[in-house]
Homo-oligomer: A and B are copies of this chain.
Amino acid sequence: MSAALIAIDWGTSSARAYWLDARGDIARIASAPLGVQKVPQSGFPAALTALLGEAPDPRVPMIACGMIGSRQGWIEAPYRDCPADAASIASALTIVPGMPMAIVPGLACRDPSGVPDVMRGEETQILGALDAARDRAIRVVVLPGTHSKWAIVRDATIETFATFLTGELFAVLREHSILGRLAAPGDDAMALERGLRCSLEEDAHLAHDLFSARTLALTGELAPEAVGDYLSGLLLGAELAAGRRWLQRQRVPGTSVQLIGDAVLCERYRKAFALAGLDAITGPADAAARGLWRIAQQAKVISV
């Protein structure tokens, strides 16, 4: 099967390949649990063949984003500093020697104190979402996940961003802390909202509020089946409260937020934003494929 471009979103735990036609439309998708963490340093050519289901065609250009460009990936694609747009990212691709495979750099920024922040893969999803957005006034993009990213975009340029460890905190607390030991499997929308409201209070403080997941369970005010969602609400609420303050410090006016990522997680965030009085719309699916197409166009690596 022929394609104008094979675009690969290659992350920590899995990889997804998109065969794009001459108009950038998705003709075929394949995915495999061959994330960077699961492939030995010399194993990427074989992993690519396994992902594609065939040896790569040397006539079809490929482009990949995500942790594949990290030190633990195939080849390091050094971070590019913010502000960055599709053109500046396209001018900084790293080519895998002997192969028509370009790797997208991650982005780095620094806060006013000089503390660095980084992203890899999200910059491509953001560009993909911008590409598709009809409303160019959308300036704030939130990508929920293990390490949630909040990015400020002006004139199709990623100006700066901030990471929140929400997903990872949830996972380690749920699996390894005393809070997780009190939890039983279950969904509880009320408990999620209760946790959210607690963390959105002005005097909230996460390292204290987290303990309430234990005390409420101890007093029987929170069922074991509700502990997980309450904990999730506390962490998500803390991210929202902090993200909102971060936007104020960046002098971004109260605006609507665009969410990109897993549909279920985005819907969870959308509801949480609504509770916090913020509008959020969910961006396009397959934003990574759209972003990779856009960068490849800029870099003129597409075969048409």
Contacts and interface: CB of A to CB of B under 8 A. Distances in A.
A58 interface: no
A147 B211 contact: yes
Interface string A211-229: 1100110110100000000
Interface in A207-247: 207-208, 210-212, 215-216, 218-219, 221, 235, 238-239, 241-242, 245-246
A116 B221 contact: yes
Contacts of A208: 162-165, 242, 246
Nearest to A166: B207
Contacts of A245: 203, 205
A174 B178 CA distance: 16
Q: Which of A165, A175, A203 has the most CB of B within 10 A?
A: A165
A169 to B, nearest CB: 6
A116 B216 contact: yes
A42 interface: no
Interface in A34-69: none
What is the total number of copies of this protein in its complex? Answer: 2
A118 interface: yes
Nearest to A245: B203
| Interface size range of chain A in the complex | 35 or more
A76 to B, nearest CB: 11
A67 to B, nearest CB: 11
Contacts of A177: 165, 168, 172
A117 interface: yes
Contacts of A221: 116
A211 B176 contact: no
A242 B204 CA distance: 9
Contacts of A178: 168
A221 B118 CA distance: 14
A115 B172 CA distance: 24
Contact of A215 (B117, B205, B235): B117
Contacts of A175: 176
27 contacts: A108-B219, A113-B201, A115-B215, A116-B215, A116-B216, A116-B218, A116-B221, A117-B212, A118-B215, A147-B211, A163-B215, A164-B208, A164-B211, A165-B210, A165-B211, A166-B207, A168-B177, A169-B207, A172-B173, A172-B177, A205-B241, A205-B242, A205-B246, A206-B238, A207-B235, A207-B239, A208-B242
Interface of A: 108, 113, 115-118, 147, 162-166, 168-169, 172-173, 175-178, 198, 201, 203, 205-208, 210-212, 215-216, 218-219, 221, 235, 238-239, 241-242, 245-246, 249
